[in-house]
Amino acid sequence: MSDAIISGRRSRQLGGTVLLAPATLVVLIMLAAPLALLVRYSFNRFSPTDLMIAAVTPENYVRFFTDPFYLEVMRTTIGVALLSTVLCLILGLPIGWRLSRMRPPWRGIFIFAMIMPLFVSSTVRALGWMILFARGGVLDLGSSYFFQRHFEMQFSSTGVVIGIVSANLPYMVLMAQSVFAGIDDRLSEAARGLGAAPVRAFWRVIWPLAIPGIAIATIMCLILGMNAYATPILLGGPRFQMMAPLVYWEFGTNNNWPFASALAFVLMATTLLLAVVAHTLVPRRYRA
């Protein structure tokens, strides 16, 4: 009898694997194949006439790691991504917590309000910030009227960070809200019943339970910040350089596919490394 049960279970597992296979295959092909191509291209040689010459040379990577210009762009990218992620955490967690403790229908209304910006593409949102930040924009007009001084934040690193935070904050808030909402209120009540002050109950009971979810939200914001494209271009301007626009410059303006591939791969590897580091910073017992 037990053999029959085991056999039936194995058969179901096999069926599940077979059903999953096509989707897995598609994901593998759509993700792994371009990545493999990217790696291969990054070892090719650039030629202005032939685009690429098949080769196996590390020169594109050497160029990146030996040129202070590219290293500086990478440092700027990491700095902006880290700063925007920290700001998302500082701003997003209290909002997420408050939302999770709201009662219907307000909770739904506010969550919908948080989702609303996601209906608009990041490019359009960045254009909105441009109207606000630019010379002659809303803030400049206000500043000129009240303080007789121009206010310009377009084409500045501050503008880029604000733009990225505004784009990533809804993700942080929604994930934090969902994490906090999944934690039973009675745990906090029990802690308080045992004499813990509300703040202590939060840090000792709620926060450890929320850490795995918050860590994932943080890593997601970090990845989005590292790969930001439209915001740095529109709000940073030509003088502010981050990695994703640089990849496009090499690909689109110079048609240098091998170097653009190497840049893309370095960006991806750095992002992955940062995500792993962020994950390891979470104590093992709290990891998801």
Contact status: 261 vs another protein (CB under 8 A): no
First-to-final CA distance of the chain = 37
Contact status: 234 vs another protein (CB under 8 A): yes
Q: In the bound complex, what is the minimum distance in angstroms from residue 130's beta carbon to another protein?
A: 9
Neighbours of 13 (CB within 10 A): 10
Contact status: 148 vs another protein (CB under 8 A): no
Contact status: 128 vs another protein (CB under 8 A): no
Contact of 194 with 269, CB cutoff 8 Å: no
Nearer to another protein by Cβ, of 170 and 232: the residue is: 232
Choice from 19, 27, 30, 51 touching another protein (CB under 8 A) = 51
Choice from 1, 4, 50, 283 touching another protein (CB under 8 A) = 50
Q: In the bound complex, what is the minimum distance in angstroms from residue 58's beta carbon to another protein?
A: 19
d(CA 48, CA 268): 26
Q: In the bound complex, what is the minimum distance in angstroms from residue 100's beta carbon to another protein?
A: 40
d(CA 88, CA 111): 16
Q: Return phi, psi of residue 252, to 5°.
A: -90, -40
* Distinct helix (H) and strand (E) counts, the chain: 14, 2
Contact status: 256 vs another protein (CB under 8 A): yes
Contact status: 54 vs another protein (CB under 8 A): no
Q: How far is C-alpha 211 from the geometric centre of its chain's CA atoms? A: 18
Contact of 83 with 163, CB cutoff 8 Å: no
Contact status: 49 vs another protein (CB under 8 A): yes
Rg (CA), the chain: 24
DSSP symbol at 148 = S
Q: In the bound complex, what is the minimum distance in angstroms from residue 193's beta carbon to another protein?
A: 59
Choice from 15, 16, 58, 136 touching another protein (CB under 8 A) = 136
Contact of 176 with 207, CB cutoff 8 Å: no
Contact of 176 with 166, CB cutoff 8 Å: no
Contact status: 206 vs another protein (CB under 8 A): no
Choice from 40, 45, 135, 192 touching another protein (CB under 8 A) = 135
Choice from 239, 283, 284, 288 touching another protein (CB under 8 A) = 239
Contact status: 66 vs another protein (CB under 8 A): no
Nearest in space to 262 (alpha carbons), one of 67, 63, 79, 66: 63
- Listed ranges 83-91, 100-108, 232-240, 274-282: which one lies at the site for another protein (CB under 8 A): 232-240
Instruction: Please report, as ranges, the residues that interact with another protein according to CB under 8 A.
Output: 46, 48-51, 69, 134-136, 140, 152, 233-234, 237-239, 241, 249, 252-257
